[in-house]
Amino acid sequence: MEIQAPGQVQATRGVRTYLRSHMRDYGLLFALIAIIAFFQFMTDGTLMRPVNITNLFLQNSYIIIMALGMLIVIVAGHIDLSVGSVMGFVGAFAAVAIVNWHLPVVLTVLASLMMGALIGAAQGYWVAYWKIPSFIVTLAGMLVFRGMSLWLLQGQSVGPFPQIFQRLSTGFVPDIFSEGLSKSLAAMAGSFNFNVLTMVVGLLVAALGIWMGLRARARNRAYGIEGEPAAFFWGRNLVVLGAFLFLMFKLATFRGLPNVLVTMGVLIVIYAFVTENTVIGRRIYALGGNTKAAKLSGIKTERLTFLSFVNMGVLAALAGLIFAARLNTATPKAGYGLELDVIAAVFIGGASMAGGSGKIMGAVVGAFIMGVMNNGMSIMGIGIDYQQVIKGLVLLAAVIFDVYNKQKQG
């Protein structure tokens, strides 16, 4: 019988305690890995082919972008059912402005984003200052903007768009090493389709992630905060950054970095920083946790609620532009039902319906879980009826798992 030293026993208990208290975060990561492995096996390797990985990002970019804003709204204690309709309406407006009115693309993009902000402000005003439940306000908005899309397009599809507008979604970042280093490496690999810039960006991001993680651990130790056990820290980084570099390598062997992936990455970094490291981020969580206590502590709850809906409107508008650019046309049914995928991604990612809890990376992972499931089931030829059933059961399982963990910890 092996006898452990007291220090080893304490370390083992510390790891177990940390794992139990963070089961939601690690469970989500393991679930994504398991789902990818399952569909990679069931599709005979098709899921992880470079072209399919690129399509996976293109197909889910607008879901992830809207999930960032939806997380803010849900953390603040509200919900927005109109995002799919707003996305479709803004895409329709952009199509009419560019194709029928011949407005410049840059002016159209700016006007579309401003329109999204105004739509969010209009809905946020009633929620924040008139205390009308967000469910009712945004349900009305869903119907209003769905009807306005039909009216604006006259029931017909409008397109195609200029090449510069299509690049919002389908364009790729040019490889600045294409005339030199990339050809040399490609020749060594026996192929001329290797994008060095993609791998350089991947390595820099991975190194930055390690540096930021070590810096955070040092800061926690300096303040006497019990942080993540070293085994979990290095294990998590090995898995996450290894998977990230694998994806970047796959993209490098195809066409490189999609423009939309860069846009999505920048937004994820910004929103993660705002929610975790700024005063306004802490106030949003306080607002969702206990509105009355937040108001008594001096937080301007009405203005914060108002701004969360404005932010959601802008992101829905951006998603509408990307969606229209990807399809190269605006259709009356664009965005139909997408609000359900966005909300499901946020809840699968660990957000609470009661507000006050949830993380940006959780919402992103939740969106990828939904995206991989959609993509994998489509490759396998599973019908849309069964897909809806499976996604609904996954959402229910995620919520039950979250409630179970909270009751167990409580």
Lowest mean pLDDT across 6-20, 97-111, 115-129: 6-20
Predicted local distance difference test score (pLDDT) of residue 9: 43
Cα 248 to Cα 242, 244, 252, 261: the distances in Å are: 10, 6, 6, 11
pLDDT band at 175 (very low <50, low <70, confident <90, very high): confident
Q: What does the mean pLDDT of the chain come to?
A: 86
For residues 17 and 346, the model is more confident at 346
pLDDT at 138 exceeding the cut of 80:
yes
Predicted local distance difference test score (pLDDT) of residue 14: 55
For residues 13 and 30, the model is more confident at 30
Looking at residues 297-307, what average pLDDT do you find? Answer: 93
pLDDT at 224 exceeding the cut of 60:
yes
Residue keyed to tokens 């208290």 = 21
109 in Cβ contact with 321 (< 8 Å):
yes
SS3 breakdown of the chain: % helix, strand, coil, rounded to 5? 75, 0, 25
Distance between CA atoms of residues 138 and 131, nearest Å:
13
| Orientation of helix 279-289 relative to helix 301-327, angle to 10° | 100
Judge residue 274's burial from the number of C-beta atoms within 10 Å of its C-beta, 0-12 exposed, 13-18 middle, 19 or more buried.
middle
Lowest mean pLDDT across 109-113, 164-168, 319-323, 382-386: 382-386
pLDDT band at 229 (very low <50, low <70, confident <90, very high): confident
**What is the amino acid identity at position 348?**
I
Predicted local distance difference test score (pLDDT) of residue 302: 95
Query: Using one digit for the tens of pLDDT, what is the confidence trace for 23-51?
Result: 666 777 778 888 888 899 988 889 889 99
274 in Cβ contact with 281 (< 8 Å):
yes
Give the whole-number percent of the chain exceeding pLDDT 70: 88
86 in Cβ contact with 99 (< 8 Å):
no
Phi, psi of 172 (to 5 degrees): -130, 150
pLDDT at 398 exceeding the cut of 80:
no
Predicted local distance difference test score (pLDDT) of residue 269: 92
Predicted local distance difference test score (pLDDT) of residue 7: 46
pLDDT at 6 exceeding the cut of 80:
no
Distance between CA atoms of residues 6 and 273, nearest Å:
39
pLDDT band at 355 (very low <50, low <70, confident <90, very high): confident
Phi, psi of 295 (to 5 degrees): -65, -40
Predicted local distance difference test score (pLDDT) of residue 24: 66
> Can you give the pTM of this predicted structure?
0.90
The matching CATH number, chosen from 2.30.30, 1.20.950, 1.10.3470, 3.30.70, for 26-171+258-409 is: 1.10.3470
In the chain, residues under CATH classification 1.10.3470 are 26-171+258-409
363 in Cβ contact with 70 (< 8 Å):
yes
pLDDT band at 17 (very low <50, low <70, confident <90, very high): low
Query: Using one digit for the tens of pLDDT, what is the confidence trace for 272-291?
Result: 999 988 999 999 999 998 88
pLDDT band at 15 (very low <50, low <70, confident <90, very high): low
Predicted local distance difference test score (pLDDT) of residue 114: 97
Lowest mean pLDDT across 5-19, 73-87, 126-140: 5-19
pLDDT at 237 exceeding the cut of 90:
no
Highest mean pLDDT: which range of 10-19, 189-198, 231-240, 306-315: 306-315
Nearest to 367 by CA among 140, 35, 135, 49: 35
For residues 180 and 263, the model is more confident at 263
* Both tokens assigned to 324: 């229209």
Predicted local distance difference test score (pLDDT) of residue 10: 46
